[in-house]
A and B are shown apart, each in its own frame.
Chain A
Amino acid sequence: MKAFFALVHRELIEHRGAFLLGPLLLVAVLFGATILAFTVGRVDARFSGALFTVAPLRVYELGFLFFGLGWSLYMISVLFFYCADGFAADKRNNAMLFWKSMPVSDFKVLLSKLTAGLTVLPGTVYAVALLSGVLLYGVAYVTMLINGTATVATLGSIVVIYGNVALAILVSIVCGLLWYLPAMALVGAVATAIGRWAIPISLLMPAIVSTLEWVTLGGLHPFATHTWRFIEYRGKLPETPYVQDWSVSAETFNGVIFATDLISHMDWLQVGIGAVFAIVVIYAASEYRRRVNDN
């Protein structure tokens, strides 16, 4: 396992720009934007709107949840590019033969890349999401203290909100990673074979497969096929009724209910099939890599 963790660490070093520096830079920009938004009047700092009159602390919930959503989108897009690029990096960096001189199998190397994508990047993104929440809350709380809409006693409620939203973001990230695992593994496997061409190929592949199904099996049009419906189904996380209900109520956000709701609406059979699929394609890619020693 020591070698495996070292290989995961290698991915962090190689991709520290996307994994670490990028998120930190973005959080600095977001922090600046938040301060500006509150100081130049872009945000209703007195929270005098109808919604905030009913639920005065909703700015904390909505703000942090939007940050969480934004960071999740960042994570998914970086993951896609990481898989398309990182799995071909040894070949591109002219270092394939060096890594092949190490006592680690190609399967272990590729698995370490996938593991890095599933742990290091999401871990960093979650950490900066928490940090951005702290910064947002800090700016909002200080603003409210200054304009008299908050007291020291409000701090307790804010901490509880922070904990609930943090839990919701964590569960969303974990469920999202499990849900999109087969897609990431497939992109990585394609990249192992064709390098960075995996980026356009992976984007085109669903349309090509769907079109092939339409041509061979018929249908109204290329995007009215079983393939396309399946891709659409696997393309988004299941909806959670709790979020819809909460958004039109004055209740405070409950992370536990959200997490329970999301987990209960996940198609776990699909998650299991996806995990097996991911292992199979990574294994197939490693067998390809084992036979090809392009440097």
Chain B
Amino acid sequence: MSELSVSTAVEPIVSARGLRKKFGGKEILHGLDFDIPPGRIYGLIGHNGAGKTTTLNAMLGLTACEGTIRVLGEDPFAKRAKLMENVAFISDVASLPRFLRVRELFALLSNIHPNFSQDKARSFLEGTDIKPEMKVKHLSKGMVAQLHLAVVMAIDAKLLVLDEPTLGLDITYRKRFYRRLLEDYMTEERTLIITTHQVDEIEFMLSDIMFIRDGDMILHMQMETVNEKFTQLVVNDPEQQAAARAYGPVYEETRFGQTVMIFDGVDRAILEPFGRLSTPTLSDLFVALMQRPTANPEPAR
């Protein structure tokens, strides 16, 4: 179901071919192939243990993999340090050094990272409760997330990777986090890759999605194409349901007495007579594609 609409003329920011990774003899990634062009906002979505973080770690040079992966044309595992001049990431919001004060953190980063701007970082913190003299260990979880976001946003990077950046934060912080990211950071030259379980919260900002299921890429598509390709049908009448089933819904469930079906690539004009049509949300699509009968070839235990 991969639909790479990337123009071959555009040099991808990330390119993977036959990406495989094993942990203790068990293969976690089964030969992923994908290209991520610049200027896009990608959502990397999958169950726990599907291989999202392993894929991100491969992009960030944090783990060695079989196959080929290139980020900004470089092998990330071999050249992680060099690559990090143009790549920023948040892998865990709690990973800021707790012993530092905010001003010490900024001063150190000014000397360590050639593309970090202390002024930008300070400006991103304006209007927050975070003060330069505060120690990271004394900040609340939400403040640490704000600080970490200010740090990565103050780095003039071509690729920003966020792995569950809002884990454990309340809805207010999460919404503020993404709004800030979108308003103050994203430009046409920058690429953003996000993984999160709160897919509905980031759906509005995504340009592309990648679904990973059990180490396989099952969907790689632009959001516009998703909207065109997938249709959700709500149908109540048993006869209409039976008729709609003939078009092979990829997913079907009953919610509050109503039957909901999701179709892949079926013309809306055909489905319209059966009931109410809409575009499935990302979370509906996620559930649909992850729970197809063929979703998990391993027998349930």
Interface residues in chain A, defined as those with a beta carbon under 8 Å from any beta carbon in chain B: 2-3, 5-7, 9-10, 13-14, 93-105, 108, 290-291, 293, 295
In whole angstroms, what is the CA distance A97 to B57 when docked? Answer: 10
Take A2-B111, A97-B92, A291-B64 as given contacts and tell me if A103 and B99 are in contact as well, using a CB distance cutoff of 8 Å.
no
Within 8 Å of chain A (Cβ to Cβ): is B94?
yes
Contacts of B113 in A (CB 8 A): 3, 102-103
Within 8 Å of chain A (Cβ to Cβ): is B82?
yes
Interface residues of B in 175-194 (CB under 8 A from A): none
In whole angstroms, what is the CA distance A111 to B127 when docked? Answer: 39
Report B114-144 CB contacts with A as 1/0, cut-off 8 Å: 1000000000000000000000000000000
A103:B82 contact, CB within 8 angstroms: yes
B81:A105 contact, CB within 8 angstroms: yes
A96:B112 contact, CB within 8 angstroms: no
B97:A95 contact, CB within 8 angstroms: yes
Interface segment out of the listed B67-75, B83-91, B233-241: B83-91
A98:B84 contact, CB within 8 angstroms: no
In whole angstroms, what is the CA distance A242 to B23 when docked? Answer: 61
Interface residues of B in 75-108 (CB under 8 A from A): 80-85, 88-92, 94-100, 104, 108
B88:A101 contact, CB within 8 angstroms: yes
Contacts of A94 in B (CB 8 A): 92, 94-95, 98
Residue of A nearest to B104 (CB): A13
In whole angstroms, what is the CA distance A95 to B148 when docked? Answer: 12
Interface size on B, residues (CB 8 A): 31
Secondary structure of the A side of the interface? helix
In whole angstroms, what is the CA distance A104 to B62 when docked? Answer: 13
Within 8 Å of chain A (Cβ to Cβ): is B63?
yes
B95:A98 contact, CB within 8 angstroms: yes
Picked from A7, A103, A105, A295, the residue with its CB within 8 Å of the CB of B91 is: A295
Residue of B nearest to A107 (CB): B81
In whole angstroms, what is the CA distance A93 to B85 when docked? Answer: 24
Which 3 A/B pairs are nearest by Cβ-Cβ distance? A6-B111, A103-B84, A105-B81
A1 to chain B, nearest CB (A): 10
Ordered by A's residue number, 10 sampled pairs between the chains whose C-beta atoms are within 8 Å are A2-B111, A10-B108, A14-B97, A95-B95, A97-B62, A97-B89, A98-B96, A104-B81, A104-B112, A295-B92
A101:B84 contact, CB within 8 angstroms: yes
Contacts of B152 in A (CB 8 A): 101
A294 to chain B, nearest CB (A): 11
In whole angstroms, what is the CA distance A212 to B90 when docked? Answer: 46
B91:A95 contact, CB within 8 angstroms: no
Residue of A nearest to B62 (CB): A293
